[in-house]
Structure 1
Amino acid sequence: MSMKNITILATSLTLGASVAAYAGGYTPPVAEPVIAPIVVDEPVANWAGGYVGGTLGYGFGGDDRVGVSQGGSLLGDIGDVEVSGANIGIRGGYRWQRDNWVFGPELGWEMTDIRDDTSGIINGTEVEADAKVKNVLALRFKTGYIVQPDTMVYGIAGWGRADIDYELAGEDVSYDADGYILGLGVEKMINDKVSVTGEYEYANFGKESLEAAGYTTEATTKYHNLKIGVNYRF
């Protein structure tokens, strides 16, 4: 074999070896598979059904300016009756549920010691006024939204009937008054049966014209109420 042929052969073998080495040494990158996260919706708890419960509250912020009249003429004001005090109640209701919405009526009765008194001088005579809310019967409608499986916030709207002890110039002029109740609340489940509540309410029992000892006044009983409570669902 001539020197020229040997040189061509050597060159060919070298190129072939280089190509083979390059081909065998290249490893294309392997893309890692993308795994989509699995989203699991939390189940909505069951809030529907009947329940009974109890509440403990404190009423405050009542504001009744007591004006005294006689024979149709205003004699003057004797002060403000700003009722406040504790209350304890029982309740029972039923709720329906549509997805995260919960709604239903509730009947409650509260025994209270929400009261205040005032006095002033009218024509040289001291005139006293004393008001006490003895008890309240209320029918409320509550509409709530489940913000977490075990927590619901809700609004309150309803009717109330209050038994009110009122004294003017030493004479008892007690009466019953109808009014409205508005409020907000939150309820949290402790377990499948028991839940606790916190509520704010505003109760307004309108105006009532009262006569006693020759005087006339217009009572306007209203107050705010903060309550905590517990419910048992069955």
Structure 2
Amino acid sequence: MSIKKITVMAASLTLGAGIAANAGGYTPPVVEPIIAPIEEPVLDWAGGYAGATLGYGFGGKDRIGISDSTDTLLGDIGELEMDGANAGIRAGYRWQRDKWVFGPELGWEITDIKGDTSGMIGGTEYGAESKVKNVLALRFKTGYAVRPDMLVYGIAGWARADVDYDIAGEDVGYDTDGYILGLGVEKKINERTSITGEYEYANFGKETLEFGEYSTKATVDYNNLKVGVNFSF
């Protein structure tokens, strides 16, 4: 057999073996690599902090009624609509369980939340003014880290307000206890500094105030929008 024939036969056998291998042979499957999802770590919110706030109170309403010495209502002179700016300082401590963050906060605010009204009762004109001078509050905040650097939280707490009340030219200022409810969000801008935005509702109940032989029932409440900054330590 010539070399040429041997070469042709070898090439034919090689081609046939290749076709057979592709037609009936085993082709191993291609396995895609499994990549585990990367979870973002929750930043550490635990520990002490201190900060400051600026806010604006609005929507406060206090209807002024005048009663005599027998507590008989003589009439209303109008409604105080209270609003004004406020500024405060605060300090607190937080604990953290996974994404849940909670703890107490003590705050003190000076305010210019005030209103005035006047009206006639029995031919006599009466005027009334009310101003919330300062508020001391103990709040408890419970939050959830919706992102590693962002906390959303609820607010509930006790508050004591120093209120300057003037009616018919007589100063009948008083201190009163109340409650605060609200919502807030806090965003870290670095490891130790964060900024906050909060909405609160403050209600200081009903207080009977006497001026001469007359009396009125003060019902101070207001809404408050605040921005602030916290420094962790």
TM-score, normalising length from structure 2?
0.90
Tell me how far apart the structure 1 counterparts of residues 14 and 225 of structure 2 sit (CA, whole Å).
Answer: 86
**SS of equivalent to 1:63:** strand
What is the match of residue 178 of structure 1? 177
Superposed CA deviations along residues 10-38 of structure 1, whole A, max 9, x for unmatched, are xxxx9xx9786433224355532121122
Shift of residue 213, structure 1, vs aligned partner: 3.4
Asked if the contact 1:169/1:213 (under 8 Å) is kept, the reply is: no
What is the match of residue 195 of structure 2? 196
What is the match of residue 85 of structure 2? 86
What is the match of residue 10 of structure 1? none
Tell me how far apart the structure 2 counterparts of residues 20 and 52 of structure 1 sit (CA, whole Å).
Answer: 82
What is the match of residue 8 of structure 1? none
Tell me how far apart the structure 2 counterparts of residues 204 and 191 of structure 1 sit (CA, whole Å).
Answer: 35
Tell me how far apart the structure 2 counterparts of residues 22 and 82 of structure 1 sit (CA, whole Å).
Answer: 98
Counterpart check, 1:102 vs 2:101 = yes
What is the match of residue 208 of structure 2? 209
Unaligned runs of 5+ in 2: 1-8
What is the match of residue 186 of structure 2? 187
* Deviates most, 68-77 or 157-166: 68-77
Larger Rg: 1 or 2? 1
For residue 17 of structure 2, the aligned residue among 12, 18, 23 is 23
**SS of equivalent to 2:16:** helix
Tell me how far apart the structure 2 counterparts of residues 44 and 80 of structure 1 sit (CA, whole Å).
Answer: 49
Q: Give the residue type in structure 2 aligned to 1:23.
A: A
CA RMSD of aligned residues (A): 1.8
Counterpart check, 1:38 vs 2:29 = no
Counterpart check, 1:141 vs 2:140 = yes
Aligned length: 221
Counterpart check, 1:115 vs 2:109 = no
What is the match of residue 130 of structure 1? 129
Unaligned runs of 5+ in 1: 1-13
Tell me how far apart the structure 2 counterparts of residues 132 and 63 of structure 1 sit (CA, whole Å).
Answer: 12
TM-score, normalising length from structure 1?
0.90
Tell me how far apart the structure 2 counterparts of residues 193 and 97 of structure 1 sit (CA, whole Å).
Answer: 16
Tell me how far apart the structure 2 counterparts of residues 66 and 106 of structure 1 sit (CA, whole Å).
Answer: 34
Over the matched positions of the two proteins, sequence identity in percent amounts to 65
**SS of equivalent to 1:191:** coil
